[in-house]
């Protein structure tokens, strides 16, 4: 999907969140917050339809869907 080609992903240990930003605008288009000291998802913010799954070996899988 072309709109995700210029993005950065950052994980903030202190805030316990994962953020994906557009490189050109620095705008957040996806963020996920975890409960403290767990791998449980507390809250999700997204501008696009997404499926979130925690796979084996604690791999976080994000599948963004086309809006067209």
Beta strand 60-64 with 50-54 is antiparallel
Domain boundaries in the chain? 2-64
Q: pLDDT truncated to tens, each residue of the chain (68 aa)?
A: 455 678 899 999 888 999 999 888 888 989 999 898 877 889 999 888 888 888 888 888 888 887 66
Strand intervals (E) in 1-68: 7-12, 17-22, 28-34, 41-46, 50-54, 60-64
């Amino acid at each position: 999907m072309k709109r995700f080609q210029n993005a950065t992903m950052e994980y903030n240990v202190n805030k316990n969140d994962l953020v994906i930003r557009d490189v050109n605008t620095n705008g957040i288009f996806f963020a996920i917050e975890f409960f403290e000291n767990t791998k449980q998802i507390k809250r999700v913010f997204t501008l696009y339809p997404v499926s979130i799954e925690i796979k084996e070996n604690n791999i976080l899988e994000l599948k963004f869907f086309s809006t067209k």
